[in-house]
């Protein structure tokens, strides 16, 4: 069975500072990886996804993530955050024959 | 383009009352459909998924049930709500493995 770990439940960061949200997964088969963002009282919105090809994936709102197969990681990064980036971020993994598995989420708080 | 509708946005129901949350998808056929629950401060818990009309799989035993009467309609129900059913319910669909698309969610408060 596959699983997703997001070690940081909360990440406070000052505006315009860089941020990295960590995601590690475990799976015995090839996986596809996703990051979703959830703003308060809203559904989840896809930020970016890794299916194949380049391990550096760029998404919306200036976010990017890098797939590292040897470390089974898919960390999300942004070089300079904005107040509007305050939200909850979910990493997810999918493989054939399985449903999506979501991590527990990381709450990003951008401070002025 | 594909869209997903979920309603109502918020709901306050007394303990013991019935529940019906509806989710519909437009612009696609034979989608895989999902119901998730997100309790306060917790991650997403998959409740039910459906790969076709009348086909429902339950991930966890609970007080809720799901039905798929039409290809693009997915309903979450309960005969008698419990306090522990409170949470944020999300419907999602996927047509391929490439991603899920989520509805806007329903905030259910059982009082």
pLDDT at B46 over 70: yes
The tens digit of pLDDT for each residue in B73-99 reads 999 999 999 999 999 999 999 876 567
Percent of chain B at pLDDT exceeding 70:
94
Residues of B in contact with A32 (CB under 8 A): 97-98
pLDDT of residue A85: 97
Beta bridge partners of B11: B108
Q: Does A103 touch chain B (CB under 8 A)?
A: yes
Q: For the stretch A28-63, what's the b/e string if a residue is b when 16 or more beta carbons lie within 10 angstroms of its beta carbon? A: eeebbbbbbbbeeebbbebbbbbeeeeeebebeeeb
Identify whether the C-beta of residue A18 lies closer than 8 Å to the C-beta of residue A79: yes
The mean per-residue pLDDT over the stretch B9-30 comes to 94
C-alpha–C-alpha distance, residues A12 and A10, integer Å = 7
Residues of B in contact with A99 (CB under 8 A): 34, 46, 49, 59
For B98, the closest of A51, A99, A105 (CB atoms) is A51
pLDDT of residue B2: 76
Q: How many domains does chain B have?
A: 1
pLDDT of residue B97: 58
| Enclosing domain of residue B106 | 3-110
| CATH code of B43's domain | 2.60.40.10
pLDDT of residue B41: 64
Ordered by where they begin, the domains of chain A are: 3-111 (2.60.40.10)
pLDDT at B42 over 90: no
pLDDT of residue B96: 67
Residues of B in contact with A49 (CB under 8 A): 98-99
pLDDT at B100 over 90: no
Regions of chain A where pLDDT drops below 50: none
């Amino acid at each position: 069975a596959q699983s997703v770990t997001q070690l940081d439940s909360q990440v406070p960061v000052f505006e315009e500072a860089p941020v990295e949200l960590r995601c590690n997964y475990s799976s015995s088969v090839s996986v596809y990886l996703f990051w979703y963002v959830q703003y308060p009282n809203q559904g989840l919105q896809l930020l970016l996804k890794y299916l194949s090809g380049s391990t550096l994936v760029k998404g919306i709102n200036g976010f990017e993530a890098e797939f590292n197969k040897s470390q089974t990681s898919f960390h999300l990064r942004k070089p300079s955050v904005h107040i509007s980036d305050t939200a909850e971020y979910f990493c997810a993994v999918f493989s054939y024959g399985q449903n999506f598995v979501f991590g527990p989420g990381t709450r990003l708080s951008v401070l002025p | 383009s594909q869209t997903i509708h979920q309603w109502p946005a918020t709901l306050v129901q007394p303990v013991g009352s019935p529940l019906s949350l509806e989710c519909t998808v437009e612009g696609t056929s034979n989608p895989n459909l999902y119901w998730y629950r997100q309790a306060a401060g917790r991650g997403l818990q998959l409740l039910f998924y459906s790969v076709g009309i009348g086909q429902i799989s339950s991930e966890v035993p609970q007080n809720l049930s799901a039905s798929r009467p039409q290809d693009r309609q997915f309903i979450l129900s309960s005969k008698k709500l419990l306090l522990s059913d409170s949470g944020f319910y999300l419907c999602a669909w996927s047509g391929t493995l490439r991603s899920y698309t989520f509805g806007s969610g329903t905030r259910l408060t059982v009082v």
